[in-house]
Amino acid sequence: MPLALYALTVGAFGIGVTEFVIMGLLLEVSGELNVTIAAAGLLISGYALGVTIGAPILTAMTAHWPRKRVLVGLMAIFVAGNAAAALAPDYGWLMAARVLTALTHGTFFGVGSVVATNLVAEDKRASAIALMFTGLTVATVIGVPFGTWLGQHYGWRSTFWAVTLVGLAALIVLATLVPRDTAAPTVSDWRADLRAIARPAVLLGLLTTVLGYAGVFAVFTYVAPLLTEISGFSDTAVSLILLVFGGGLVVGNLLGGRLADRNLLRSIFGTLAALALVLGLMTFAFNSQVAAVIFIGLLGAAGFATVAPLQMWVLSKAEGAGQSLASSFNIGAFNLGNAIGAWVGGVILDQGPGLAWVPLVAAAFPAAAILVAALAARSPQPSAQTVYANQTAGLSK
């Protein structure tokens, strides 16, 4: 794989840490800022909505920029947002800082996905996307457990300062390794791009992504309370268990990329079915500490095995230059699913049957995603050669 792909991976690592680390610190944040756990969980929803809104807007605004400038500029905003979070005097300030940081997320992964697929041979495109997203999995394996431990021992603000330093390192690596020749088209017809995204096949693909990830984050947002209040683990054990989740992410992410390269459609149905099964069984697994740890790892594997297939699905249904915008929309769709899942989990926690029922309700989301994917699959799908030709043509206009 080209060295530039690893630069994208480093950037993904920084973004992944700031997105996920708050989940292990809900108790600390809610305690210091005097808000409920459900309100602290909305910091995840706020971030996800910021991604959803920022992805298409920033992608359209920067469509004529060189892609290296886009990626480096986004990382600079990311650094500023995390520094603001570390300095937050109250809940509102912290929410605003999270949203500011989130605005960079979707465009980074959207633009990065298209760049990644054009740096490799056509039969390695999904694997290239998976490699970039490995930054997210490594962030979960290393960054999130360490950030959780750091926040529990030295305060949650120290975690955001650490993430700020990670962002600075990522900015330097991107500026150094991403080649200048990965430039965006100088002319972009955003109306044509929107028409491409408005096609039923693309919209159904985006909806599949939303539903699939709503299930993942309905559970993962509240993983700390589930492990401590249902399974009976100590607060300090949560960061260690998140290592198991991160290990599952690494395996699932790389496996999903390889499966998608072999057969895209089967990989989508297979990974979504596995996710629904894991979430449904987690309802019972949390009653046993051993089973809870095993299923945390399975959740990571099943959840991230869907990423590369779903991203490639949307790219395969878009055309030409519209793929950059479609890719960013799909990153927004992942995070809209995150927001919906975190919100639904909070409703179940505060107004519904309670914390123990969150996984079972979450399983309904990927089950619904399978039905939507079946509708999307009925539309004609271009060949891999056609997708690659369209994508290359769009980037060279």
Residue-range domains of the chain with CATH: 3-396 (1.20.1250.20)
The confidence band for 192, taking pLDDT boundaries of 50, 70 and 90, is: low
| DSSP type of residue 155 | -
Q: For helices 105-117 and 37-61, what crossing angle results, to 10°? A: 50
For residue 337, give Cα distances in angstroms to 211, 298, 390: 6, 19, 28
Q: Please give the structure tokens belonging to residue 107.
A: 């465009």
The confidence band for 81, taking pLDDT boundaries of 50, 70 and 90, is: very high
* 345: nearest Cα among 225, 233, 245, 237: 225
Model confidence pLDDT, tens digit, residues 143-191: 877 888 888 889 989 999 998 998 888 888 888 877 775 444 545 565 6
Average of pLDDT values for 61-66? Answer: 79
Report which of residues 307 and 191 the model is more confident about. Answer: 307
Chain mean position to CA 73: 20
pLDDT, position 375:
82
Report which of residues 259 and 186 the model is more confident about. Answer: 259
The confidence band for 394, taking pLDDT boundaries of 50, 70 and 90, is: very low
pLDDT, position 84:
94
The confidence band for 396, taking pLDDT boundaries of 50, 70 and 90, is: very low
Average of pLDDT values for 44-64? Answer: 79
Q: Which amino acid is at 397?
A: K
Report which of residues 329 and 92 the model is more confident about. Answer: 92
Instruction: Choose the most confident range, by mean pLDDT, from 66-70, 257-261, 361-365.
Output: 361-365
Q: Please give the structure tokens belonging to residue 248.
A: 């599952």
Average of pLDDT values for 309-323? Answer: 70
* 17: nearest Cα among 142, 115, 181, 150: 142
Average pLDDT, the chain: 80
Residue with token string 């944040």 = 29
Looking at the predicted structure, is the pLDDT value of residue 377 above 90?
Answer: no
Both ends of the chain: CA-CA distance in Å?
25
Q: How far apart, in whole angstroms, are the C-alpha atoms of residue 83 and residue 372?
A: 40
Q: What is the 3-class SS of 39-92, one letter each residue?
A: HHHHHHHHHHHHHHHHHHHHHHHCCCCEHHHHHHHHHHHHHHHHHHHHCCCCHH
pLDDT, position 387:
42
Runs of H (alpha helix) within the chain:
3-20, 26-33, 37-61, 67-86, 91-102, 105-117, 125-138, 144-154, 156-177, 190-197, 200-220, 223-225, 235-262, 264-285, 289-305, 307-317, 322-350, 358-377, 384-396
Model confidence pLDDT, tens digit, residues 3-19: 778 878 888 888 888 88
The confidence band for 79, taking pLDDT boundaries of 50, 70 and 90, is: very high
Angle, vertex CA 193, rays to CA 187 and CA 199, nearest 5: 165
Report which of residues 237 and 188 the model is more confident about. Answer: 237
Average of pLDDT values for 59-67? Answer: 78
pLDDT, position 386:
44
For residue 131, give Cα distances in angstroms to 78, 254, 316, 339: 21, 7, 19, 25
* 204: nearest Cα among 378, 364, 50: 378
pLDDT, position 281:
93
Q: Which amino acid is at 176?
A: T
Q: Is the pTM here over 0.75, yes or no?
A: no
Looking at the predicted structure, is the pLDDT value of residue 372 above 70?
Answer: yes
pLDDT, position 98:
92
Average of pLDDT values for 114-133? Answer: 75
Looking at the predicted structure, is the pLDDT value of residue 97 above 90?
Answer: yes
pLDDT, position 120:
74
Q: Please give the structure tokens belonging to residue 231.
A: 């399974």
